[in-house]
Amino acid sequence: MRFVILQLIFFLRMFLACICGAVIGYERKNRGKGAGIRTHTIVSLAAALMMIVSKYGFADLLDFPGVRGADPSRIAAQVVSGVGFLGAGMIYFNRHLVKGLTTAAGIWATAGVGLAMGAGLYYVGIFATVVVVFCQIFLHKNYKFLHMPSEEILSVTLEDSEEAMDFLNNMLAEYNIVIGGMKCRKKESGLIEVEMDISTDTDIAYGDLLKTFKDAPYIHSFSI
């Protein structure tokens, strides 16, 4: 009977780990990130399983001669570093900007939640889940009270003339866009391609910006 109860406790811990992982993954899925509900759920479940195996799987071996110095906790310890390969897969470099850091950190935190659940630290795991979800939802650049500048890469192909450059500078100033860096490349067709690191403290209405670029007489193409 004691064995059955212990197994049910293990099942409960893994189930709670799945729930917490799914909650964290749901927020990432809604933002269209690479790791969603399934990835976070499996990471949390696997971490809980490793903790259970590490904590209870070798209890019968510790009384054998010659194994008193064994450290079963090493299995759980490897989860923290082993989950790094998933986090590395989430991070990528796109046009001078690093993407996926928050998702990678969330994967790592999800593994920690799974370890907590596997160890029976239910309240610690639930609290960590709430904090992670809070950070991912509210500590976001879209919330004005944080005053975080939004950084993007703007690439524009326009006519190689002083009037065209003046028009581009005036338009960016109108939207309170600050240029952090710029690269220019002349094309054979008499056009010039400008790539700029831009930032702004205000929310840009990209629909209005698109219309402005589309109606501009000097601009032939752009991407952001």
Residue 124 has pLDDT above 90, yes or no: yes
Same domain membership, residue 215 and residue 200: yes
Same domain membership, residue 100 and residue 178: no
**Distance from C-alpha of 198 to C-alpha of 177, rounded to nearest angstrom:** 6
Give residue 206's pLDDT.
61
Asked which of 46-60, 93-107, 125-139 is least confident by mean pLDDT, the reply is 93-107
CA end-to-end distance (rounded Å), the chain = 63
- Dihedral sign for Cα atoms in the order 10, 11, 12, 16: positive
pLDDT band, residue 202 (cuts 50/70/90): low
In b/e form, how buried is each residue of 147-186, taking b as 16+ CB within 10 angstroms? eeeeeeebebbbbeeeebbebbeebbeeeebeeeeeeeee
Give residue 123's pLDDT.
94
Alpha helices in the chain (DSSP H): 2-30, 37-56, 74-82, 84-90, 101-118, 122-138, 162-174, 206-215
pLDDT band, residue 163 (cuts 50/70/90): confident
pLDDT band, residue 204 (cuts 50/70/90): low
Specify the length of the chain in residues.
224
Q: How many domains does the structure of the chain reveal?
A: 2
Give residue 149's pLDDT.
60
Q: Of 102, 213, 218, 100, which Cα lies nearest the Cα of 154?
A: 213
Q: Mark which of 123, 140, 157 sits at the end of a domain.
A: 140
Residue 129 has pLDDT above 90, yes or no: yes
Provide φ and ψ at 11, rounded to 5°.
-60, -40
Residue 18 has pLDDT above 90, yes or no: yes
Residue 17 has pLDDT above 70, yes or no: yes
Orientation angle between helical segments 101-118 and 2-30, nearest 10 degrees: 170
Top-confidence residue, 154 or 51: 51
> Mean pLDDT of all residues in the chain?
80
Percent of the chain surpassing pLDDT 70: 82
Residue 28 has pLDDT above 80, yes or no: yes
Same domain membership, residue 151 and residue 205: yes
Q: Which domain holds residue 159?
A: 146-223
Give residue 47's pLDDT.
92
Contacts 24+ apart (CB under 8 A), 92-98: 95/153, 96/153, 96/197, 97/151, 97/152, 97/153
Give residue 125's pLDDT.
92
Give residue 89's pLDDT.
77
Same domain membership, residue 11 and residue 100: yes
Same domain membership, residue 81 and residue 19: yes
Distance of CA 212 to the CA centre of its chain: 32
Q: What is the mean pLDDT of residues 161-178?
A: 80
Tokens of 95: 């046009």
**Distance from C-alpha of 110 to C-alpha of 129, rounded to nearest angstrom:** 8
pTM for the model: 0.64
Orientation angle between helical segments 74-82 and 101-118, nearest 10 degrees: 160
Q: What is the mean pLDDT of residues 210-215?
A: 74
pLDDT band, residue 69 (cuts 50/70/90): low
Same domain membership, residue 46 and residue 10: yes
Q: Environment class of residue 109 by beta-carbon count within 10 Å: exposed (0-12), middle (13-18) or buried (19+)?
A: buried
Same domain membership, residue 128 and residue 187: no
Asked which of 139-148, 196-205, 209-218 is least confident by mean pLDDT, the reply is 139-148
Same domain membership, residue 112 and residue 189: no
Report pLDDT digits (tens) over 137-150: 887 655 555 555 66
Alpha helices in 31-121 (DSSP H): 37-56, 74-82, 84-90, 101-118
